[in-house]
Chains A and B, each alone.
Chain A
Amino acid sequence: MAIIEINKLSKTFKVKIKDKGLKGSLKAIIKPQYKMVKAVKNISFKVEKGEIIAFIGPNGAGKSTTIKMLTGILYPDKGNIKVLGIDTKLERKKLAYQIGTVFGQKEQLWTHLTPYDNFKFFGAIYDIPESRVEKKIEEFRVLFELDEFINTPVRNLSLGQRIRCEIVASLIHEPKILFLDEPTIGLDPVVKENIRTLIKRMNKEYKTTIFLTSHDVGDIEKLCKRVIIINDGQVVLDDSMENLKYHYLNKKIVEAKMKEKINLDDEEGITILKDKGYNLKIEVDTTKKSVADALKLLNPDKIVDINIANIPLEDIISNIYKKEGTKK
């Protein structure tokens, strides 16, 4: 059963515009002018229970606007949203009890209080009985390894510790869906990895559906099985991560270290990316030439070392962004 259903959703913003200089400023006071910006254009998709879904796109693509509509913060202009069967426009407060939100750039914890006091606070505002809150805190203390800092004021925590607490705070009321908007922004690679592990664990233990937006390809690659790409307010791709990685571009990168120099000419299905005599880097389009054929061209007897890799996900995604950008 779909836990999130979006049908032909659109949102337009009215944005104030101003001409250049002082004259423009005066004009804006007397006769303010506005332009309409279509942030989200007619998008539709469904999310199943227990999925970890990446909702990505370049800046200004409409990701945050969509997430804000999904969480009841903004009303859509057109279309329908059902989250857990709840109409986000009509039953905002009811929805609040069922979902959790973490906005990486928006702190929701009280900085002068300890994580423990914060968790108690969130438990109270979601009307959770105190004994249940205590039980949940105890559970999360172990799961999220909070022992070291659960009684330290939030203002004294590192960013990674704070994000961990932000996630726990949004889980205290046991939401069925967790919306994570750039949860690993500004974190170092080790802490990022740690947060990803915790998100995965949470999804496994509590079957919480995760709706994630991130610019970090590592988050998407390591956490999500499905990816929705949005650009210029439209869904440009909705596919499994597997398909995206292995079939969307059908390209492999072959890096080889040769015993002797080799002269390789461009031919169909092969693009030479780097040729430094003994070191060679080529891109193989597997729809036109198999990797085996490409290796034959290199002459396997002369290969000292070889590395065959998929195109980095980052390149695939930025390629999709660019492609959609040039279509406009």
Chain B
Amino acid sequence: MKKYWFIFKTEVMSNMQYILNVLAGFIGYFIMLFIFFNLWKYIYNEPNQIINGYTMSQMIWYVIITEILWSVLSGRKYCAKIIDDVRGGNIAYNVNKPYNYIGYCLATHLGSCFIRAIMYIVLGMFIGLIFLGNFPSLNIFSILAVLITGILATVISTLLLTFIGLFSFIIEDANPFYWVYSKLILVLGTIFPIEYFPTFIQPILKFSPIYVVSYGPAHLFVNFNWAEFINIIIFQFIYIIIAYLMCSLVYKIGVKRLNVNGG
């Protein structure tokens, strides 16, 4: 475990070189929130009105949290790197290293998310307070609980991205799969809560990655209750186990197929 902690730490150190890039990403984040703030202000006739179970303030905080999660977890570069490594054969150089490859991926991606997460959380909270002038009713324990679901969401997202990347072992180019996955999370999991979708889709969404990666932590933040927290945590652990097993399986198949023709 110590080595994975070290890999995580090393990736955090390495990512500190990119802080300016993260700051540049803030511009897009701010514009997005500004648009949604005005959109929801226009849709809600009065701030206390409730639409699909959300007040205007809850709705905007929901988008603030899902946008933080999206900015931190989207992992386009990470997934593309695995796809390129698999296609180019570079992944072979990890095979004879004394670590578990999935564990290595997890530690590096969590490390690269860490700095971004801190910066986006600070910025998101600041913007929320400026736009809305209020904060959801949370205490230190519920904040901690939301943070735990956020961390687990990062773990799940990393494992799913790793799985998509490693899927290149089987279909040569998994980029289209990443495109579908990322658009699903962005469109169905970031902009609107599950309650906004037709009732027949809602159960499907509640079993989809959207629930554990995006909706769950954001919904807890705006309307915290311990029963839902337990429910989300259980789902998240199930997802982690399944995603890890899927990654291990596809990696095992891939290593067997490994056809590095170097030199």
> Contact residues of A with B, CB < 8 Å?
13-15, 37, 39, 59-60, 63-65, 67-68, 71-75, 92-93, 95-97, 99, 101, 103, 106, 108, 110, 112-113, 117, 120-121, 124-127, 153, 181, 213
Contacts and interface: CB of A to CB of B under 8 A. Distances in A.
B99 A73 contact: no
A125 B96 contact: no
Contacts of A15: 259, 261
Of B3, B90, B95, most buried by chain A (CB within 10 Å of CB) is B95
Nearest to A63: B263
B98 A73 contact: no
B49 interface: no
A181 B96 CA distance: 15
Given A73-B92, A73-B96, A93-B98, A125 B7 contact: yes
Contact of A181 (B90, B92, B259, B263): B263
A113 B7 CA distance: 12
28 contacts: A13-B259, A13-B261, A15-B259, A15-B261, A59-B263, A64-B262, A64-B263, A65-B261, A65-B262, A72-B95, A73-B92, A73-B260, A74-B258, A75-B256, A93-B98, A96-B96, A97-B98, A106-B90, A108-B93, A112-B14, A112-B15, A113-B14, A117-B10, A117-B13, A120-B6, A121-B10, A124-B3, A125-B98
B111 to A, nearest CB: 11
Given A97-B98, A181-B263, A103 B258 contact: no
A96 B98 contact: yes
A97 B258 CA distance: 22
A81 to B, nearest CB: 13
7 smallest beta-carbon distances between A and B, as pairs = A64-B263, A124-B6, A72-B96, A96-B98, A112-B14, A64-B262, A112-B17
Contacts of A153: 17
Contacts of A101: 96
Q: Which of B2, B10, B92, B259 has the most chain A CB atoms inside 10 A of its CB? A: B10
A46 B10 CA distance: 39
A216 B64 CA distance: 58
B97 interface: yes
Contacts of A71: 96
Q: What is the interface of chain B mostly: helix, strand, loop, or mixed?
A: helix
A69 to B, nearest CB: 10
A246 to B, nearest CB: 29
Q: Could you say which interface size class chain B belongs to?
A: 20 to 34
B199 to A, nearest CB: 41
Contacts of A124: 2-3, 6-7
Interface in B249-263: 256, 258-263
A68 B99 contact: no
Given A64-B263, A125-B6, A181-B263, A92 B95 contact: yes
Interface string B1-41: 01100110010011101000000000000000000000000
B248 to A, nearest CB: 15
A74 to B, nearest CB: 6
A95 B95 CA distance: 11
Contacts of B97: 96, 125
B102 to A, nearest CB: 14
Given A13-B261, A113-B14, A121 B93 contact: no
Nearest to A124: B6
A99 B98 CA distance: 11
B259 A14 contact: yes
Given A68-B92, A74-B92, A125 B260 contact: no
